[in-house]
Structure 1
Amino acid sequence: MSPSNARHAFVKPPRAARRPKVSTWHGVELVDDYAWLKADNWQDVMRDPAVLDPEIRAYLDAENAYCEAQLAETKSLQDELFAEMRGRLKEDDSSVPTADGPYAYYSGFVAGGQYPLIYRSNRDGSGAVVVLDGNREAEGKAYWDLGDFEHSPDHRLLAYSIDDKGSELYSVRVRDLTTGEDLPDIVPDTRGGVVWASDSRTFFYVRLDDNHRPLQVYRHVVGTPTDEDVLVYDEKDIGLYVAINATQSAKYITIDAHDHRTSEVRIIDADAPLSEPVLITPRRVGHEYSVEHNGDKLYITTNSHDAEDFRIVEAPVSAPGEANWREVIPHRPGCLILDTILYRDHMVRLERENGLPRIVVRRLSDADEHIIAFPEEAYSLGVHPGYEFDTTNVRFVYSSMTTPAETWDYDMQTRNRVLRKRQQVPSGHNPADYVTRRLYAPARDGELVPVSILYHKDTPLDGSAPVLLYGYGAYGISIPASFSTTRLSLVDRGFIYAIAHIRGGKDKGYRWYTNGKLAQKVNTFTDFIDAGEYLVAQGLTKRGHIVANGGSAGGMLMGVVTNMAPDLFLGIIADVPFVDVLNTMLDKDLPLTPPEWPEWGNPIASRDEFSIIHSYSPYENVEAKTYPHIFAYGGLTDPRVTYWEPAKWIARLREKNASDNLVLLKINMEAGHSGASGRYEQLREMAADYAFALKIAGLAAKQKEKAA
């Protein structure tokens, strides 16, 4: 299973200069040899990558050149993988139109186009026109991302947001849908989201400060100078994020200030956009809640009164405080309420129980409920609320690791469902050729970790197959067992694809999240290792045959398990990896550090939390030992996981690694956290990841021989 190392033995890898920076925290001395890779002007680099320090740029360029040289022999394989992935993509695909009054809106692509188009048609689907052409807007730009697009209630204007550097600094523009021309209004440095008031002239947005923090809500009136925009809400706690939204009824605009354990919501009457925001209930640490609306009531999904997996209460709009909350849906331990949507006559909630999602529809007039669920062992289910409130229709999307996505419209009154779209795979896909299963891996403390696996029916289950094991495990985010056309390229070549639903996510309720954060964060890492060990124990693979993959916080997971159990893994693919955890959490000036303290701990204020993070932080715990093959990816303008995190990690690995396995770093010099913006360039990046996995598994050569 090991590839030849002959090629890369002749190419000298870059070596970053060691310039020790010493700091002392709680009596512990930290020595950071590669701190210089963090640009002093990083805020400016986010806005203009050209101002990056030339020495840092030269080092990153050298890493990119080395990475390209090491993967050069997989170029034909990458091209082959890309062609396969593109062949499974319906190039002129489009979403199902979503009705709103006389019109319907949807997005789509044209063959050969990298970016989406936004369409508007009549409600019956006739008369479709393009209101925004992403390919035309992106011409001449190395990066282009459409953040949000929202039509005004009277359908005359379209507010949309664009990021053209990958730094998530979105500029909002306004388009006249009658003429197709943009108005002079340009609002820079926003978080991207836009919410219209009922007058179709006023919209709200969140502005990012100089440290890239979303703390202020502003109100803009179309046709007025943006420097006259009115500050509506100013969050003083830099440890919170601020977001805006609208209730499904479109009656209220919501302002949500939150971190990873606390939230506080205010509402603005959309019919009175100049009115002051009304507080629902004051924040208190550990209380999370969200707000929906129906008639003269607000419906609040809350974890108050020890409702760990949430309950739903109602309160009068006129007196929304907690003293007036009346329970509607009680807390059921182990049954996590993920989302709540209110329509005129129905409440829809998305729940997860025993690791699987389901939809519950409740008729408001008599509290009658019924469930929409599915029989497969592992699947993904999402609700698309749509634009309308006075409707009996709710849309949901279902898929599994073998079943392409299906979009259904469901009548909540008659219980009839209509299939609106089934994802097409132009090159062909037969679900019967694949097997998906849900396993439960025993963790070392007795918990059972769900593992979703996918493999080709002809793959031998005798331990000879390599496994790509994916994991995330943070922020309560659950990785769905959904359909992916790209992973078929690995599975068709003999890989078993597995997702470990480890603690830190909410796959088994909110407890699954809290048992994988702060002082219990180690459970995330040991769950992933135990899942890999279980696949070995079940005879599905062997030690040293597993390629682990994760990104962002999942990239931190990659760094930790590489230190903890390097011999379990053949290789590591770490996408935008959060591997410099301790130094980042000690730097209160970085964009996301204060809001992240409730997730990881505050090592500045707490000696204990410093010690916990120090014990696992990947960068600090790189040692002189044998490491598996490693491929790390970062983005120069990434505000979430800054480029210097993977750069420093790889530099230290180069210094300490006792093996001659590949240690590669690729920094996209024209993108941020999400990588390349164009859909084909995203496939190119995936093809490089998979070519790396196939190369180190020894399957790249086999595939070449097969093709010959």
Structure 2
Amino acid sequence: MTGPTTGSSDTTVLADETAPPSPPVARRLPVVSTYHGVTLTDDYAWIRADNWQEVMRQPQELAGHIRDHLDAENAYTKAMMAQTGPLQETLFKEMKARLKEDDSHVPQPDGPFEYFPRFVKGGQYAQLCRIPRGGSQGDAQVLLDGNAEAEGKSYWDLGATAHTNDHKLLAYATDDKGSELYTIRIRDLATGQNLADEIPDSHGSLEWSSDGRTLFYIKVDEHQRPLFVYSHVLGTPVSDDKLVYEEKDSGFFVGLSSTQSQKFILIDIHDHDTSEVHLIDADNPAAGPRMVTPRRVGHQYSVEHHGKNLIIATNSNDAEDFRVVMAPVATPEEANWREIVAHKPGRLILDVSVFQNFVTRLERGESLPRIVVTPIKAGGRADDFFDLSGEHSIAFAEEAYALGMSSGYEFDTTRIRFTYSSLTTPAETYDYDMATRERTLRKRQEIPSGHNPADYVTRRLLAPAKDGALVPVTLLYKKTTPLDGSAPLFLYGYGAYGIAMPAAFSTARLSLVDRGFIFAIAHIRGGKDKGYRWYTDGKLKKKKNTFTDFIAAGEHLVSEGFTTRGRIVANGGSAGGMLMGAIANMAPDLFLAIIADVPFVDVLNTMLDKDLPLTPPEWPEWGNPLTSKDDFDYIRSYSPYDNVEAKDYPHILALAGLTDPRVTYWEPAKWIAKMRALNTSANLVLLKTNMGAGHGGASGRFDGLKDTAFNFSFALEVAGLGV
């Protein structure tokens, strides 16, 4: 296969200083395929490396002609963004100045110790530390220093970590390519030295048995799908590790966790609609897993433990927003489930944690979260479990906010931890005593360069969608920003997998807002912002609601006078990048620019390729175009890459990662190649591929800020605020 051309040659030749460089022009090499009697022609299929699995592990193995094309795109983007260099540096410095460089989390107690991550001044990565219970952070023992581990590597990511119950060993997983293939190592915390046990190509999840002798972990198949649970006995060869569970259906992925009681290790088998849980007795790791109840399509459940019973959150019996049931550990199948928290439509149960004397629920209603605490009656009998007279909730009064709950390590405790923030309020960490209801502020996010929440406004609007649904939109702007339509607006959206977008604080986005942007989050269908129905109304054959909701949010903000048409910069990533591609095709004149982070834009081709890592588990989310012509036709009708046509597009910036296993690099690369060929406007069409990272971009906290500064400089420049 021959390579692409850039202009009339195979190399990038930048123009002199008096003229802009010519953009890369990818060679068209049509590949024809037929599905359901429909012929598809893909002019840029060659950008997809035949050896993509090898490239995930060894990026240097990318074919030369593909690398040349990506390098040419990067060179063009660098040249076109060169004038923003000083602005990028200014943005980076001010965003960095808002970070407390020597910051640390509030330590979490576990028996004789308290564990916490911290950053040191100038460090890109966190240190994992511990102190004696009740001790001072100044006396911390550094268990793992991310900066030392990452030294000499262009990418480094710490996956799961777990210490043994006796606090002698730490298992941790790291990825140094961005491909999400983790190597597990085990550290002796007394000596600081790693044991000989080393497990490559894991999925990063891990759990210890009670005695700290057996480590459970997940391996991936040749398509990088997490399908196998193994157990490793310390001191034995990894080749002797025992296969504990194998998932035969490639449409399901496998996860590992444990109950709060630490009595059971949980094997969670799931796709986006269906789940199944198996229990491993942590005290008897050789006994093998035991199923709770068999999977059936559309049934989701999660498991916690208390005494002789399991506490299960489930959507069974048409409980769309979930209910909570109890079942005996000895006979946990669904026939023995007894309801203890009824389903309430519109109140979505997000998470359930079980302690010795309390159960907590994280819920969302009217698109706002709250924590509900319910005491357990003495004895915790199945027929009389809750003391409902003591049930109470934790909530806040702001118009829009974010709330997160942490269970910590301990089971027999009255304390939980939660974090609170809003678009104007920096994060606050609280300890909450479930018995006394006392709330203790443990930490308030410090902004070294200064931040006055009173200088900003947070608002929540409801935008009428095409079908009459009301789409929540959260706004942030400075009090001094004119609300006469002259301000540019930065509109963020995601809208997939049931993931809600929290109205949480961000130090970085202040750099936009302080320069006159209005920042907005559109809580569109496809997420669970307004309950589970909000999710199902934005998937499969209702997927287009996600796109029209986002457009409706933008149009409502125009009609309310916050901005004007063609003055909106849209942003979304991954599945939110699909949103960016769709709205570029559907309403290009509404937007000044679109920033698409690792965008899932080649939807039809990806869903037709059953060998890609995520394709089979994604069919319940988008549909299966291989087996269903209806699904094929519907996906084809909105797939961004397939619907690029000759029209005026707004400014486009697409970001990709070479080793990204979730949204492969060739999706944005193909999309940009086709858009550049068909775009009839003079607006910028740019692609930037990180050749040393994957889905999450740069791994270090400062390098991540540089990526953000790059994106924001693009938005500010096209909006005329790049000064």
Alignment TM class, shorter chain as reference: over 0.9
Match of 2:637 among 609, 615, 634: 615
Task: Tell me the CA shift for residue 7 of structure 1.
Answer: 8.7
The match for 2:230 among 196, 218, 225 is 218
SS at structure 1 position matched to 2:148:
helix
Aligned to 1:92: 102
SS of equivalent to 2:643: coil
Give the whole-Å Cα distance in 2 for the aligned partners of 1:625 and 1:162.
45
RMSD (Å), alpha carbons: 0.9
The DSSP-based 3-state class of the residue aligned with 1:410 is strand
Identify the residue that residue 123 of structure 2 maps to in structure 1: 113
Paired residues of 2:159 and 2:175 also in contact (CA < 8 A): yes
Please give the per-residue CA displacement for 1:234-277, whole angstroms capped at 9, x wherever unaligned.
00000001001000000000001100000000001100001121
Match in the other structure for 1:78: 88
1:566 and 2:578 aligned: no
Tell me the residue number matched to 2:561.
539
Q: Which residue of 1 aligns with 2:413?
A: 391
- Correspondence for 1:435 among 432, 446, 457: 457
| Matches of 2:214 and 2:487, distance apart in 1 | 58
Instruction: Give the match for residue 10 of structure 2.
Output: none
CA contact (8 A) 1:7 1:70 kept: no
Gaps of 5+ in 2: 1-15, 378-386
> Which of 538, 545, 554 does residue 576 from structure 2 map onto?
554
Partners of 1:12 and 1:153 in 2: how far apart? Answer: 61
- C-alpha distance in 1 between matches for 2:686 and 2:315: 44
Deviates more, 1:274-283 or 1:345-354: 274-283
2:600, 2:177 → 1: CA distance? Answer: 21
In 2, Cα distance between equivalents of 1:566 and 1:538: 20
Amino acid at match of 1:639: P
Distance 1:664 1:8, change over 3 A: farther
SS in 2 for 1:364: strand
1:476-555 correspondence runs (5 A): 476-555=498-577
In the alignment, does 2:440 pair up with 1:454?
Answer: no
Work out which of the residue numbers 339, 346, 353 in structure 2 matches 1:327: 339
Does structure 1 residue 39 correspond to structure 2 residue 49? Answer: yes
Could you list the runs of 5+ residues in structure 1 that have no partner in the other structure?
Answer: 1-5, 704-708
What is the letter of the counterpart of residue 308 of structure 2?
Answer: D
SS in 1 for 2:129: strand
2:573 and 2:639 map into 1 onto residues whose CA distance is: 15
Evaluate the alpha carbon distance shift between residue 403 and residue 8 of structure 1 in structure 2; reply closer, same or farther with a 3 A threshold.
farther
Question: How many percent of aligned residue pairs carry the same amino acid?
Answer: 67
Match for 2:274 among 262, 272, 275? 262
Equivalent in 32, 35, 43 of residue 22 of structure 1: 32
Quick check: 1:474 aligned with 2:496?
yes
Residue aligned with 2:204, SS: coil
Inter-CA distance 40–531: structure 2 relative to 1 (3 Å threshold): same
In structure 2, the residue matched to 1:283 is 295
CA offset digits 1:649-670 (Å, max 9, x no partner): 0000010000110000000000
Q: Which residue of 1 aligns with 2:249?
A: 237
Residue 634 of structure 2 aligns to which amino acid in structure 1?
I
Per-residue CA shift, 1:425-454, capped at 9, x if unaligned?
000000000000000000010100000010
- 1:86 corresponds to which letter in structure 2? K
- 1:137 correspondence with 2:149: yes
Q: 1:8 to 1:111 in 2, by over 3 A?
A: farther
Contact 1:97–1:125 (Cα < 8 Å) also in 2: no
Give 1:10 deviation, angstroms: 2.2
Q: Deviations over 1:492-524 (max 9, x none)?
A: 000000000000000000000000000000000
Shift of 1:221: 1.1
Q: Distance in 2 between matches of 1:400 and 1:418?
A: 19
- Tell me the distance in 1 between the aligned counterparts of 2:316 and 2:480: 50
Q: Structure 1 runs of 4+ off > 6 angstroms?
A: 6-9
Q: Which residue of 2 aligns with 1:604?
A: 626
TM-score normalised over the length of structure 2: 0.96
Deviations 1:186-213 (A, max 9, x none): 1111111111110111111111111100
Give the conservation status (yes or no) of the 8 Å contact 2:20–2:80: no
Conservation of the 8 A alpha-carbon contact between 2:32 and 2:39: yes
The offset of 1:408, in angstroms, is 0.2
Report the Cα offset of residue 680 of structure 1: 0.4
TM-aligned CA deviation for residue 9 of structure 1:
6.2
Q: Distance in 2 between the 1:666 and 1:128 partners?
A: 41
Residues in 1 aligned to 2:214 and 2:165: alpha-carbon distance in whole angstroms: 11
Corresponding residue number in structure 1 for 2:714? 692
Q: What is the DSSP-based 3-state SS (H/G/I as helix, E as strand, rest coil) of the residue aligned with 1:16?
A: coil
Matched letter for residue 564 of structure 1: M
Amino acid at match of 1:445: D
Q: Whole-Å Cα distance in 1 between the matches of residues 290 and 220 of structure 2?
A: 23
Indicate whether 1:410 and 2:432 are aligned: yes
Structure 1 residues 9 and 26 mapped into 2: Cα distance closer, same or farther (>3 Å)? farther
Classify the secondary structure of the residue corresponding to 2:331. Answer: coil
Structure 2 match to 1:175: 187
> Does residue 154 of structure 1 match 2:166?
yes
**Aligned-pair distance for 1:379?**
0.4
Shift of 1:125: 2.4
What does 1:303-452 align with in structure 2 at a 5 Å threshold? 303-365=315-377, 366-367=387-388, 368-452=390-474
Q: Please list the CA deviations of residues 624-644 of structure 1 after superposition, one character each: whole Å capped at 9, or x if unmatched.
A: 000000000000000000000
| Matched letter for residue 237 of structure 2 | P
Amino acid at match of 1:92: D
Q: 1:7 to 1:537 in 2, by over 3 A?
A: farther
Letter of the 1:466 counterpart: P
Q: Distance in 1 between matches of 2:135 and 2:454?
A: 34
Shift of 1:11: 1.1
TM-score (norm 1): 0.98
Which residue is 1:3 aligned to? none
Q: What letter is aligned with 1:117?
A: Q
Alpha-carbon deviations, 1:50-109, whole Å to 9, x = none?
Answer: 000000000000000000000000000000000000000000000000000000100011
**Match for residue 7 of structure 2?**
none
